[in-house]
Amino acid sequence: DFVMTQSPDSLAVSLGERATINCKSSQSVLYISNNKNYLAWYQQKPGQPPKLLIYWASTRESGVPDRFSGSGSGTDFTLTISSLQAEDVAVYYCQQYYSTPFTFGPGTKVDIK
């Protein structure tokens, strides 16, 4: 199975500052035949289901603010919030969908400093 790790476990960032979350897969999630990375990012606020932010590692879901961006390839990925807003306080998860069982990272909690 693909093991997903995330760093840091938590971070506190000042409003308007950049937040960077890293995700690493134990195996490459890059599918060579279509050159796509099978990696998604979700945001989860307390008491709510997860919300899709990014898929194919860097494609922003419709309606997601452009301060959210995804990058990386192969085994190493990054979610960046360019200018943290109060409503971005949440836990963020990466997910590989290269193969079943699909697996999620353990989550990174983002707070305001």
Partner 1 sequence: EVQLVESGGGLVQPGGSLRLSCAASGFTFSSYWMSWVRQAPGKGLEWVANIKQDGSEKHYVDSVKGRFTISRDNAKNSLYLQMNSLRADDTAVYYCARGLPWELPNQYFHHWGQGTLVTVSS
Sites of contact with partner 1 (CB under 8 A): 1, 38, 40, 42, 44, 48-52, 55, 61, 93, 95, 97-107
Could you give the C-alpha distances from 12 to 25, 29, 64, 75, 107, in angstroms and in order? 24, 29, 21, 25, 14
Q: Which is nearer to partner 1, 16 or 49 (CB)?
A: 49
Question: Which tokens in the block code for residue 49?
Answer: 């289901």
- Smallest distance from partner 1 to CB 15, Å: 26
What are the helix and strand counts (H, E) for the chain? 0, 13
* Cβ proximity to partner 1, 82 vs 91, nearer residue: 91
Q: What's the closest the beta carbon of residue 92 comes to partner 1, in angstroms?
A: 11
Q: How far is the CB of 46 from partner 1 (least distance, A)?
A: 11
**CB nearer partner 1, residue 65 or residue 106:** 106
Cα–Cα distance for residue pair 48/78, rounded to 1 Å: 23
